[in-house]
Chain A
Amino acid sequence: MKPNQLLSSSHRAGGSPEKGPEWLELDNSAKIYPAVRTRDWAAMFRVSVDLTEEIRQDVLQQALEDTVRRIPTFRLALHKGVFWFYLDANKWMPRVEADVNNPCKKINDLENGGYCFRVRVYHRRIALEVFHSITDGTGAMIFLKTLAARYLTLLGHPIPAGEGVLCCDEPPRPEELEDSHSRYASFRHIESRKEKKAYHPQMTRMIAPRLRIITGMLPVEQVHEKARELKVTVNEYLTGALCYAFYQVQKKEAPRRLLPVKISVPINMRRFYPSGTLRNFALFVNPGIEPEYGEYSFEEIVTHVHHFMRLRLNEKYLNAVLSANVGNERNLAMRMVPLFMKNIFMDIAYRLYGESRYTSNLSNLGAIRVPEAMAPFVERFDFLMGPPRFNTHGASALSYGDTLYLSITSVVEETEVERLFFTELVKRGIHVTVESNNPPLTGNDDFPYGRRHAASKY
Chain B
Amino acid sequence: MEQVIKMSYCVNCGVELKPSEQMCPLCGTEVVNPRQPYDRKAPKPFPERMDLFMPQDNRGFIASIVTLVLMLPSAICLSCDAAYTGGSGWSMLVVGAMAMLWVLIVPALFFRRHPIVFGVVLDTGALLGYLWIIERYTETGSWFLRLALPIVLLLAVLFTLDYLLAFRLVRGRFRQAAVVMASLSVLPVGIEMIIDSYLSGAIRLQWAVFVAIPCLILALLMLVLGRRERFKEQMKKRLHM
Contact = CB atoms under 8 A, between A and B. Distances in A.
Contacts of A203: none
Interface in B27-52: 27-28, 43-52
A39 B18 CA distance: 36
B106 interface: no
Nearest to A433: B16
Contact of A433 (B18, B47, B56): B18
Interface of B: 13-18, 20-22, 24-28, 43-56
Contacts of A99: 46-47, 49
A283 to B, nearest CB: 31
B14 A436 contact: no
B55 A423 contact: no
A103 B50 CA distance: 9
B31 to A, nearest CB: 12
A434 B50 contact: no
| Residue of B22, B44, B51 with most partner-chain A CB within 10 A | B51
Contacts of A210: 50
A435 B56 contact: no
Given A431-B16, A433-B15, A434-B15, A415 B51 contact: no
A62 interface: no
Interface in A404-458: 415, 418-419, 422-423, 426-427, 431-438, 440, 447-451
Contacts of B27: 415, 419
Nearest to B53: A449
Contacts of A450: 52-53
| Residue of B17, B43, B53 with most partner-chain A CB within 10 A | B53
A202 interface: no
A40 interface: yes
Contact of A101 (B15, B16, B24, B50): B50
Nearest to A434: B15
Interface stretch (A132-140, A144-152, A211-219, A311-319): A211-219
A100 B26 contact: no
A108 B18 CA distance: 34
Interface residues of A, number: 41
Contacts of A418: 25-26
The secondary-structure label for the interface of chain B is loop
Given A214-B25, A434-B25, A426 B53 contact: no
> Which 4 A-B residue pairings sit nearest by Cβ, starting from the closest?
A436-B25, A437-B46, A419-B26, A435-B18
A438 B53 contact: no
Contacts of B49: 98-101
B15 A100 contact: no
A415 B15 CA distance: 14
A38 to B, nearest CB: 12
A389 interface: no
B15 A123 contact: no
B56 A436 contact: no
A209 interface: yes
Contacts of A438: 21-22, 25, 44, 46
Given A40-B53, A422-B13, A449-B54, A435 B45 contact: yes
23 contacts: A39-B56, A98-B47, A101-B50, A102-B51, A213-B46, A214-B26, A215-B45, A415-B26, A419-B13, A423-B14, A426-B13, A433-B16, A433-B17, A434-B16, A434-B25, A435-B17, A436-B25, A436-B45, A437-B45, A440-B48, A440-B50, A448-B55, A450-B53
Given A423-B14, A434-B15, A451 B53 contact: yes
A272 interface: no
Contact of A435 (B21, B47, B52): B21
B53 A423 contact: no
Contact of A122 (B15, B25, B26, B46): B46
A101 B53 contact: no
| Residue of A103, A214, A433, A440 with most partner-chain B CB within 10 A | A433
A220 B48 CA distance: 30
Nearest to A439: B50
B146 to A, nearest CB: 51
A265 B67 CA distance: 53
A75 interface: no
| Residue of A40, A435, A451 with most partner-chain B CB within 10 A | A435
Nearest to B16: A433
A98 B22 CA distance: 24
A116 interface: no
Given A209-B52, A426-B13, A449-B52, A101 B25 contact: no
B15 A108 contact: no
Interface string A74-104: 0000000000000000000000001111110
Given A418-B26, A450-B52, A436 B15 contact: no
A22 B48 CA distance: 39
Contacts of A437: 45-46
Contacts of B45: 215, 435-437
A448 B14 CA distance: 38
A98 B46 CA distance: 11
Interface in A219-263: none
Contacts of A436: 21, 25, 45
B53 A216 contact: no
B55 A449 contact: yes
B48 A423 contact: no
Interface string A16-39: 000000000000000000000001
Given A435-B45, A449-B55, A423 B50 contact: no
A393 interface: no
Contact of A423 (B26, B51, B56): B26
